[in-house]
């Protein structure tokens, strides 16, 4: 049986046990976690007599941890059966999957931990993103999605994450910027040293940075008030 735990308690466990939050949570929830080479999916969960999560052992470790957090979030939110596929880390249009991913992000990257890493250093630099991802055992894409969620909290005026992925098209949040501008920023960041490109617009200081994997290119763009 799945032990009963409310969401706040679950997040508390993840915070105290960072970076092994989801693993510890699985223990406490008495979820059976199995690792198998799966084909065509990243993992799944079922909740019958006992709760079982299965994870694709062929996937990169950061992806396996995301899948674990994702499936645990399904169990906590009582959407008890799920199959998860590659790709939709943060850009899914499905409401249920979106709230599951949201909770998974909070498990893997607790706000308190992020605040400690970032401190007063905004805009957040690429090396900080890299440091957080490494410490938390998650991908840089996952990290920037979480930073974007916490923007306001971190005194970032505005930010967005845009992904140029597998389908060779932009996944851009509504109102972020037109796709031709994203393409221009992609070019500018990839030509800049360290994949960071700073530019000013009126009273705002902007920083765009690029994260590349074999299958996607992700832009994280922050806008902060210029110090007077
Ligand atoms: Zn799911």
Q: How far is the CA of 102 from the centre of ligand 1 (A)?
A: 11
What is the pLDDT at residue 5? 77
Mean pLDDT of 52-69: 95
Tell me which residue has tokens 């799944």: 44
Q: How far is the CA of 223 from the centre of ligand 1 (A)?
A: 31
Q: How far is the CA of 108 from the centre of ligand 1 (A)?
A: 16
Position 87 pLDDT exceeds 60: no
Q: How far is the CA of 202 from the centre of ligand 1 (A)?
A: 41
For residues 83 and 162, the model is more confident at: 162
Q: How far is the CA of 101 from the centre of ligand 1 (A)?
A: 8
Report the mean per-residue pLDDT for the chain. Answer: 90
Q: How far is the CA of 67 from the centre of ligand 1 (A)?
A: 9
Position 225 pLDDT exceeds 90: no
β-strand pairing of 51-56 with 82-84: unpaired
First-to-last alpha carbon distance for the chain, in angstroms, is 58
Instruction: Name the band, by pLDDT with cuts 50, 70 and 90, for residue 91.
Output: low
Position 2 pLDDT exceeds 70: no
What is the pLDDT at residue 1? 53
Q: How far is the CA of 26 from the centre of ligand 1 (A)?
A: 16
Q: How many CB atoms lie within 10 A of CB 32?
A: 10
Report the phi/psi class of residue 68: left, alpha or beta, with left for phi > 0 and alpha for psi in -120 to 50.
alpha
Tens of pLDDT along 161-220? Answer: 999 987 788 988 888 899 999 999 999 999 999 999 999 988 899 999 999 988 889 999
**Beta bridge partner(s), residue 55:** 35, 43
Q: How far is the CA of 43 from the centre of ligand 1 (A)?
A: 9
Q: How far is the CA of 195 from the centre of ligand 1 (A)?
A: 32
Tens of pLDDT along 8-42? Answer: 999 999 999 999 999 999 999 999 999 999 998 99
Peptide bond into 157 cis (omega under 30): no
Tens of pLDDT along 124-151? Answer: 999 999 999 999 999 999 999 999 999 9
Task: Return d(Cα 3, Cα 169) in angstroms, integer.
Answer: 42
What is the pLDDT at residue 115? 96
Q: What is the DSSP letter of 202?
A: T
Q: How far is the CA of 68 from the centre of ligand 1 (A)?
A: 10
Q: How far is the CA of 11 from the centre of ligand 1 (A)?
A: 18
Structure tokens at 213: 């994997």
Q: How far is the CA of 48 from the centre of ligand 1 (A)?
A: 17
């Amino acid at each position: 049986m799945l032990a009963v735990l409310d969401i706040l308690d679950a997040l508390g466990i993840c915070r105290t046990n960072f970076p092994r939050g989801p693993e510890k949570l699985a223990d406490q929830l008495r979820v059976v976690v199995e690792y198998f080479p799966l084909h065509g999916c990243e993992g799944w969960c079922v909740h019958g007599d006992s709760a079982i999560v299965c994870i694709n052992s062929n996937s990169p470790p950061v992806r396996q941890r995301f899948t674990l957090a994702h499936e645990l979030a399904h169990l906590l939110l009582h959407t008890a059966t799920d199959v998860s596929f590659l790709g939709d880390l943060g850009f899914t249009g499905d409401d249920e999957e979106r709230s599951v991913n949201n909770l998974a992000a909070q498990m893997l990257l607790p706000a308190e931990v992020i605040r400690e890493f970032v401190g007063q250093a905004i805009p957040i630099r690429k090396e900080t993103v890299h440091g957080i991802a490494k410490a938390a055992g998650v991908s840089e894409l996952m990290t920037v999605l979480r930073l974007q969620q916490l923007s306001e909290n971190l005194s970032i005026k505005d930010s967005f994450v845009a992904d140029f992925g597998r389908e060779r098209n932009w996944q851009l949040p509504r109102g972020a910027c037109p796709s031709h501008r994203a393409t221009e920023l992609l070019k500018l960041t990839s030509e800049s040293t360290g994949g960071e490109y700073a530019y000013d617009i009126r009273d705002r200081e902007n920083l765009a940075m690029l994260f590349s994997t074999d299958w996607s290119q992700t832009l994280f763009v922050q806008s902060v008030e210029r110090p007077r």
